Amino acid sequence: MKSKDIEEAKARASAMLRRARIVITPSERENMEVADLGFGDLKNLGIQIIVYENNDRYCAKELILFPRQICPEHRHPRVNDRNPGKKETFRCRSGEIYLYVAGEPTPRPKARVPKKYRSFITAWHEITLRPGNQYTLPPNSLHWFQAGDKGAIVSEFSSTSTDENDLYTDPRLRRVKK
Amino acid sequence: MKSKDIEEAKARASAMLRRARIVITPSERENMEVADLGFGDLKNLGIQIIVYENNDRYCAKELILFPRQICPEHRHPRVNDRNPGKKETFRCRSGEIYLYVAGEPTPRPKARVPKKYRSFITAWHEITLRPGNQYTLPPNSLHWFQAGDKGAIVSEFSSTSTDENDLYTDPRLRRVKK
């Protein structure tokens, strides 16, 4: 991504946090991860992340999604004998998020997915999260999500985060930092 | 505690969350833990807690402290071979909190501790947390904290929480649910 686009995304995400009264430090703003996953289409596909803490025991992040931005389908597989894969809880703080997991497909889902990304989505069981709602994903379960029309801020609580182990359904996707 | 006092504390804590734009569900409000630790002096000593998630891997809570309320000195000792004790991160969301850990005592600390509780405080190294600031405590480290004049809301991210293992410096203290 161009540094101008990254700065623009950081400014936009920071403004959303301010509106939601979520305070971050200047250094957290500076280190915000803007992930377009190599697609160069951040408006539709990608995510902004502030990592509050990631240590050997647990992890906590704030996820900021622009209106209708999609975090594409992936899972967190088993890492080793002591780590059966990342377990994570998404708690919606503001806006609205449509989370999709394996299971009975939801008729008339709320997500709107551009055609070019549809072929790499397989999970269509919908969970709608509004402020105060949360959902915990077991390790290694497929999931993806899209923010509603006003975007969303989601607190992620989880076991230790090791992005390099994530497996995306779309083999073209990769997690690129900044 | 009398159920009237518990209800009053819940209402007060809920109002603080509302002012900070932190949304909780009716069931989270209902299940809010109001802990006076058996002292019957909630105004000065105690804490209000909403447990968002506590599973085999991690835990996330919102701590609500009334103005100048003290969470007394304690530590989270080793539980077994796989759990060296709870590790936790305090992130201030609103208000101000004075956190005390072992180390060089801070001259003129900001905390104001009623005489009757002073004898069971040993850690006086002060860390002031304002919105956006956070601090991670290693397992088994002594700590206590007091909210500032306007109270405080603190997100706690941690490894699995097992309150029954907590060790308080004051042997009179016990963790009483509701």
- Tens of pLDDT, residue by residue over B1-18, are 899 999 999 999 999 999
**A13, A152, A165, A176, B11 from A24: Cα distances, Å:** 11, 16, 27, 23, 28
Q: What does DSSP assign to residue A45?
A: B
- Residue A174 is predicted with a pLDDT of 64
Residues B145-167 have pLDDT tens digits of: 999 999 999 999 999 998 888 89
Contact present, A9 and A48 (Cβ < 8 Å): yes
Sign of CA dihedral B62, A9, A20, A152: negative
**Two tokens, residue B57:** 């891997």
Question: The dihedral of CA B27, B30, B31, B32: what is its sign?
Answer: positive
d(CA B178, CA B169): 22
What sections of A46-176 are H helices per DSSP? 115-118
Distance from CA of B96 to the nearest CA of A (A): 13
Is some CB atom of chain B closer than 8 A to the CB atom of A136?
yes
**pLDDT at residue number B36:** 94
**pLDDT tier, B174 (very low <50, low <70, confident <90, very high otherwise):** low
Q: How many other C-beta atoms can be found within 10 angstroms of the C-beta atom of residue A64?
A: 30
Name the pLDDT band for B177 (thresholds 50, 70, 90): very low
The pLDDT score that the predictor gives to residue A82 is 83
Is pLDDT at A64 greater than 60 in this prediction? yes
> How much is the average pLDDT of B124-152?
97
What does the pLDDT read at residue B72? Answer: 95
Mean pLDDT of chain B: 94
Map residue A49 onto helix, strand or coil. strand
Torsional class of A8: left (φ above 0), alpha (ψ -120 to 50), beta (otherwise)? alpha
Please check whether residue B68 touches A, CB under 8 A: no
Task: Compare B30 and A80 and report the one with higher pLDDT.
Answer: B30
pLDDT above 90 coverage of chain A, percent: 85
pLDDT above 80: residue B173:
no
Instruction: Give every CB contact of residue B132 below 8 A, 6+ residues apart in sequence.
Output: A23, A24, A25, A28, B91, B92
d(CA B64, CA B94): 10
Q: Give the best residue of B22, B27, B54, B58 to mutate against chain A (max A CB count within 10 A).
A: B58
The three-state secondary structure class of A4 is helix
- Interchain contact A18–B (C-beta under 8 A): no
HSE, side-chain direction, 13 A CA sphere, residue B107: 0
Angstrom distance (rounded) from CA B65 to CA B146: 8
Chain B CB contacts of A28 below 8 Å:
132
Average pLDDT of the residues in B52-66: 97
